[in-house]
């Protein structure tokens, strides 16, 4: 089984970082993984997106055009990728930034005010990791026990404070109940 | 008793230069300089495109032939590969001051620890006498048949003056090989440029005013006079920069 | 085996170069390969004798490469399409001087300033016209981050073995994507480099690195000799990968990211009962002519999948002697073909009659 994940938002929301974290999660599970960012001028304040594939078999195209899981971190991203999401897939939307509800009825839609939570809980810029935690809970795509090990791969041990904040964000998302 | 012979720094190959051309003298000065400094065995030269393209056959050291204008970049690679190498380029005016201007300026800006021998004869020799970046105003060449018209093609590039504004340049001197006195001064300048490199002092360039009797359409003797009367006033001899000049 | 790490293609390739003993890198910034230069800028100064230098131009960078290559040391540069075009002069000189070097082209869309998105439109440049004169470079086309690593390591080896330039022809996707890689590279092989410029030490005749010959007959002799060497490479160094070719009636030919997309399409087509497989050239020069020619006796059609206006397709037609139709599935300008694009060509190919 290959899971195709698309994380999309503004540049600066940590789209690429959270994707890298997910890819490491998959790697720790001995899965095949790929991570592909959009790049170029898009990175500078425009929309940024990141394709992650976690698979049991050798991955073909690393480009996710039709995600099984869409993490939408701003309104343009939901606008752009809602229709592309595979039927039976999952869409997770940050409803502190996206007013619109998911219109599709053949996907599971979940809402979390990640940006507001990040701001309330003093986790600046970590809405991305809150959404990842929430996604792990909702999809079970990767076991929660690996979060710490994967985090160690993406946040240097020298930055203990940053590590703790990221862990806290994932935990917050994971334990969030609507 | 041998009174006069080729320096060890030159091979036995017969030079191909035209009669009266001063390239031969400059080759000899370079060879003598590296011989006297005892570095011929660790010297690597970079030959240009132009009349001196065959320099790789004449210098008795390892040589690489570079594309037109690129000698300073190639020399940069050779030097950075092993800083113990003594590296020089031997370039003409078209090579150094037209197509290779960027490589020249930036190797000076980086203060590459190399020695550039710049032979300025105010004309493209190899291709048969076209206008060079250093061709004098009014000078007739194949591609300036009515004389260099500065309102149309602009002015000659004064390389020493230009590079003297580049912080990275360590030692810049303009010399000439039109008479014995000047040849002796040229030798001293070339030797000093190599000495600076040996001491790790950075980018050095010696601009040598040279003749091209064939393409100037003059006898060798008259060419020397032409150099003196026309080039020396436009390209004054002297030291343009010396970061390590001793206080007097 | 060492632990697998997630690395970007550009960085993994740079690290592989260091592991291959390359201590000299010269470059000039250009998207989408800048990570390679940034990585080298960090790593090289930490190595004993390591040199990273940002040149004033692509032209200067390739000539600095020539300088180091002439001293016999491993050296590389990387760039993207417009920058590689500028390096063409140097590529020709490297060939004419029989110097080993590694050049990376992380291709982007063209012509002109084009786009910064992935492309394969430098196929002709790499395999046919990388500069003036008669010459070839060994062209390696990675289709994964692991291959960016493996082919970089191998590229240095091939370069030294045959005294010629190896080019890694990647695309923006290969450079930008992250995949798990193992950096277990094995031993670096040493080759005789008595031709190198190391200074005579007064103990031998000068070595000369040169591409100029005044007598046409001399130059002709060297050119013929060089092409004898090329023949050896065509016999011994062809690399390709086969995917589901055993019973295939349609053969996709694709490299790099096009092959990755094609794999998805093949899986999809197989589900629909269409027997399709793929031959993925890993060496674009030497091109895997023999295997394609044999395949032409078994399949009813080929589909060349490319991120350009149809360049490799000419090699497929030549290799198969036009025994079977070759269809083109292409997107250009930085657009990557989708699985659906490839599927529709597979279906078109499947409708061609006259199977064995």
Range of the domain at C134: 5-236
pLDDT score, position C355: 46
CB proximity B60 to C under 8 Å: yes
Q: Which residues of chain C have pLDDT under 50?
A: 1, 355-356
Q: Is residue C142 part of a domain?
A: yes
Question: Are C154 and C73 part of one and the same domain?
Answer: yes
Q: Is the pLDDT of residue A38 over 90?
A: no
The reply to whether residue B41 touches residue C89, judged by beta carbons under 8 angstroms, is no
Q: Is residue C175 part of a domain?
A: yes
CATH of the domain at C22: 3.40.50.970
Contact C117, A40 (CB under 8 A): yes
**Best of A34, A38, A54 to mutate (most C CBs within 10 Å, chain C):** A34
The reply to whether residue C32 touches residue A59, judged by beta carbons under 8 angstroms, is no
Distance (Å) from the C-alpha of residue C355 to the closest C-alpha of chain A? Answer: 28
CATH of the domain at C318: 3.40.50.920
Question: Are C97 and C152 part of one and the same domain?
Answer: yes
pLDDT score, position C353: 64
Q: Rounded to the nearest 10 degrees, what angle do helices A147-154 and A160-174 cross at?
A: 140
Please name the member of A24, A34, A60 whose beta carbon is closest to the beta carbon of C264: A60
Tell me how many degrees the CA angle C217-C218-C221 measures, rounded to the nearest 5. Answer: 85
What residues of B are in contact with residue C89 (Cβ under 8 Å)? 67, 70
What residues of A are in contact with residue C263 (Cβ under 8 Å)? 58, 60-61
The reply to whether residue A62 touches residue C173, judged by beta carbons under 8 angstroms, is yes
Residues 6+ apart with CB under 8 A from C139: C126, C127, C166, C167, C169, C283, C284, C285
The reply to whether residue B67 touches residue C209, judged by beta carbons under 8 angstroms, is no
The CA R_g of chain C, rounded to the nearest whole Å, is 21
Question: Are C50 and C182 part of one and the same domain?
Answer: yes
Residue-wise DSSP of chain B: ---S---TTB-SPPP-PPTT-THHHHHHHHHHHHHHTT-GGGEEEEE-SSGGGGHHHHBSSEEEEPPTT-HHHHHHHHHHH-TTSEEEEEEEHHIIIIITHHHHHHHHHTT-S-EEEEEE-SSBTTTTSB--TTPPTT--BTTBTT---HHHH-----HHHHHTT-TTEEEEEEEE-SSHHHHHHHHHHHHHHHHHHHTT--EEEEEEE---HHHHT--HHHHHHHIIIIIHHHS--EEEEETTPPP-
pLDDT score, position B55: 97
What does DSSP assign to residue C242? E
**Best of C146, C147, C179 to mutate (most A CBs within 10 Å, chain A):** C179
The reply to whether residue A36 touches residue C172, judged by beta carbons under 8 angstroms, is no
Please name the member of A36, A59, A61 whose beta carbon is closest to the beta carbon of C339: A61
The reply to whether residue C261 touches residue A63, judged by beta carbons under 8 angstroms, is yes
Pairwise CA distance, residues B31 & A125, whole Å? 66
pLDDT score, position B93: 97
Query: Please, which residues 61-100 of chain A have a Cβ atom closer than 8 Å to chain C?
Result: 61-63, 65
Question: Are C218 and C289 part of one and the same domain?
Answer: no
Nearest-by-CA chain B residue for C199: B42
The model's pLDDT over C1-16, given as tens digits with 9 standing for 90+, comes to: 468 999 999 999 999 9
pLDDT score, position C343: 97
What residues of C are in contact with residue A41 (Cβ under 8 Å)? 116
Query: Please, which residues 17-46 of chain A have a Cβ atom closer than 8 Å to chain C?
Result: 20, 23-24, 27, 32-37, 39-41
Instruction: Output the tens digit of pLDDT for each of chain B's 248 residues.
Output: 788 889 999 999 999 999 999 999 999 999 999 999 999 999 999 999 999 999 999 999 999 999 999 999 999 999 999 999 999 999 999 999 999 999 999 999 999 999 999 999 999 999 999 999 999 999 999 999 999 999 999 999 999 999 999 999 999 999 999 999 999 999 999 999 999 999 999 999 999 999 999 999 999 999 999 999 999 999 999 999 999 997 55
Percent of chain A with pLDDT over 90: 82
**Best of C6, C276, C278, C337 to mutate (most A CBs within 10 Å, chain A):** C6
> What is the interface pTM, i.e. ipTM, of the complex?
0.94
pLDDT score, position C89: 97
Distance (Å) from the C-alpha of residue A60 to the closest C-alpha of chain C? Answer: 4
Q: Is residue C356 part of a domain?
A: no
The reply to whether residue A61 touches residue C172, judged by beta carbons under 8 angstroms, is no
Question: Are C307 and C210 part of one and the same domain?
Answer: no
What residues of C are in contact with residue B96 (Cβ under 8 Å)? none
pLDDT score, position A46: 66
Question: Are C151 and C202 part of one and the same domain?
Answer: yes
Q: Is residue C355 part of a domain?
A: no
Q: Is residue C62 part of a domain?
A: yes
Please name the member of B42, B56, B73 whose beta carbon is closest to the beta carbon of C199: B42
Phi, psi of C102 (to 5 degrees): -115, 130
Question: Are C262 and C224 part of one and the same domain?
Answer: no
Question: Are C66 and C145 part of one and the same domain?
Answer: yes
What residues of A are in contact with residue C116 (Cβ under 8 Å)? 39-41
Distance (Å) from the C-alpha of residue C135 to the closest C-alpha of chain A? Answer: 34
Domains of chain A, start order: 2-174 (3.40.920.10)
Question: Are C38 and C167 part of one and the same domain?
Answer: yes
Q: Choose among B92, B103, B90, B27: nearest CA to B58.
A: B27
**SS3 per-residue string spanning A108-165:** EEEEECHHHHHHHCCCCCCHHHHHHHHHHHHHCCCCHHHHHHHHHHHCCCCCHHHHHH
Q: Is residue C109 part of a domain?
A: yes
Query: Please, which residues 95-124 of chain A have a Cβ atom closer than 8 Å to chain C?
Result: none
The reply to whether residue C179 touches residue A20, judged by beta carbons under 8 angstroms, is no
How many other C-beta atoms can be found within 10 angstroms of the C-beta atom of residue C287? 21
Contact C79, C105 (CB under 8 A): yes
* Boundary of a domain, candidates C181, C205, C236: C236
Question: Are C245 and C140 part of one and the same domain?
Answer: no
Question: Are C260 and C230 part of one and the same domain?
Answer: no
The reply to whether residue B80 touches residue C200, judged by beta carbons under 8 angstroms, is no
- The three-class DSSP label of residue A58 is coil
* Boundary of a domain, candidates C236, C269, C295: C236
What residues of C are in contact with residue B80 (Cβ under 8 Å)? 24, 51, 53, 64, 67-68
Q: Choose among C102, C242, C119: nearest CA to C174.
A: C119
Nearest-by-CA chain A residue for C340: A65
Domains of chain B, start order: 23-242 (3.40.50.970)
Distance (Å) from the C-alpha of residue C99 to the closest C-alpha of chain B? Answer: 11
Question: Are C85 and C17 part of one and the same domain?
Answer: yes
What is the tally of structural domains in chain C? 2
* Boundary of a domain, candidates C236, C266, C284: C236
- Chains contacting chain A through 3 or more C-beta pairs under 8 A: C
Pairing of the two strands A2-10 and A69-72: parallel
């Amino acid at each position: 089984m290959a899971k195709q994940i698309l994380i999309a938002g503004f540049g600066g929301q940590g789209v690429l970082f959270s994707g890298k974290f997910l890819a490491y999660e998959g790697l720790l599970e001995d899965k095949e993984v790929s991570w592909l960012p959009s790049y170029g001028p898009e990175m500078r304040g425009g929309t940024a997106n990141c394709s992650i594939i976690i698979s049991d078999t050798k991955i073909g195209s690393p480009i996710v055009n039709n995600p099984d899981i869409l993490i939408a971190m701003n309104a343009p991203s939901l606008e752009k990728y809602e229709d592309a999401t595979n039927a039976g897939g999952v869409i997770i939307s940050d409803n502190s930034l996206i007013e619109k509800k998911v219109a599709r009825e053949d996907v599971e839609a979940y809402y979390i005010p990640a940006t507001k939570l990040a701001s309330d809980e003093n986790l600046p810029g970590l809405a991305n990791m809150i959404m990842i935690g929430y996604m792990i809970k909702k999809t079970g795509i990767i076991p929660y026990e690996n979060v710490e090990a994967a985090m160690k791969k993406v946040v240097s041990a020298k930055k203990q404070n940053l590590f703790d904040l990221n862990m806290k964000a994932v935990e917050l998302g994971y334990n969030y109940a609507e | 008793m041998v009174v006069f012979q080729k320096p060890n720094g030159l091979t036995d190959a017969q030079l191909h230069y035209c009669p009266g051309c001063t390239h031969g003298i400059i080759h000899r000065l370079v060879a003598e300089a590296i011989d006297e400094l005892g570095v011929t065995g660790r010297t690597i030269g970079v030959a240009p495109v132009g009349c001196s393209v065959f320099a790789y056959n004449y210098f008795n050291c390892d040589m690489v032939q570079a594309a037109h204008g690129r000698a300073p970049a190639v020399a940069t690679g050779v030097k950075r590969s092993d800083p113990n190498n003594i590296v020089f380029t031997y370039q003409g005016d078209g090579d150094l001051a037209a197509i290779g201007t960027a490589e020249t300026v930036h190797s000076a800006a980086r203060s590459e620890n190399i020695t550039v021998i710049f032979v300025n004869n105010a004309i493209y020799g190899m291709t048969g006498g076209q206008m060079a970046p250093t061709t004098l105003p009014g000078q007739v060449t194949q591609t300036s048949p009515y004389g260099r018209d500065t309102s149309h093609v602009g002015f000659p590039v004064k390389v020493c003056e230009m590079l003297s504004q580049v912080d990275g340049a360590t030692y810049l001197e303009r010399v000439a090989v039109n008479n014995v006195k000047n040849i002796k001064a040229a030798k001293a300048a070339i030797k000093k440029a190599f000495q600076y490199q040996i001491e790790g002092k950075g980018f050095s360039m010696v601009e040598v005013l040279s003749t091209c009797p064939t393409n100037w359409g003059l006898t060798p003797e008259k060419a020397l006079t032409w150099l003196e009367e026309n080039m020396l006033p436009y390209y004054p001899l002297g030291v343009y920069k010396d970061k390590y000049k001793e206080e007097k | 085996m060492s632990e697998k790490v997630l690395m970007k293609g550009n960085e993994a390739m740079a690290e592989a170069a260091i592991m291959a003993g390359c201590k000299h890198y010269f470059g000039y910034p250009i998207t989408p390969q800048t990570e390679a230069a940034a990585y080298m800028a960090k790593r090289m100064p930490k190595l004993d004798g390591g040199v990273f230098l940002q040149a004033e131009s692509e032209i200067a960078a390739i000539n600095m490469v020539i300088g180091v290559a002439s001293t016999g040391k491993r050296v590389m540069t990387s760039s993207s399409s417009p920058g590689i075009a500028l390096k063409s002069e140097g590529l020709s000189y490297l060939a004419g001087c029989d110097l080993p070097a590694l050049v990376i082209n992380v291709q982007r869309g063209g012509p002109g300033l084009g786009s910064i998105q992935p492309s394969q439109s430098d196929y002709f440049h790499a395999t046919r016209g990388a500069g003036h004169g008669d010459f070839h470079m060994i062209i390696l086309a990675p289709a994964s981050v692991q291959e960016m690593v493996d082919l970089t390591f191998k590229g240095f080896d091939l370069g030294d073995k045959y005294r010629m330039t190896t080019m890694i022809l990647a695309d923006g996707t290969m450079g930008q994507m992250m995949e798990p890689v193992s950096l277990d590279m094995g031993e670096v092989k040493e080759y005789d480099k008595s031709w190198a410029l190391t200074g005579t030490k007064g103990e031998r005749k000068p070595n000369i690195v040169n591409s100029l010959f005044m007598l046409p007959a001399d130059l002709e002799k060297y050119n013929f000799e060089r092409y004898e060497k090329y023949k050896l490479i065509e016999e011994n160094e062809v690399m390709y990968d086969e995917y589901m070719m055993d019973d295939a009636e349609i053969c996709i030919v694709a490299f790099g990211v096009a092959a990755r997309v094609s794999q998805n399409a093949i899986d999809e087509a197989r589900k629909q009962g269409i027997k399709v497989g793929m031959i993925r050239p890993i060496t674009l020069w030497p091109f895997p002519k023999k295997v394609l020619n044999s395949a032409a006796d078994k399949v009813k059609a080929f589909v060349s999948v490319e991120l350009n206006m149809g360049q490799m397709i000419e090699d497929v037609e030549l290799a198969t002697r036009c025994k079977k139709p070759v269809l083109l599935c292409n997107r250009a300008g930085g657009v990557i073909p989708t699985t659906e694009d490839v599927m529709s060509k597979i279906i078109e190919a499947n409708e061609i009659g006259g199977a064995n």
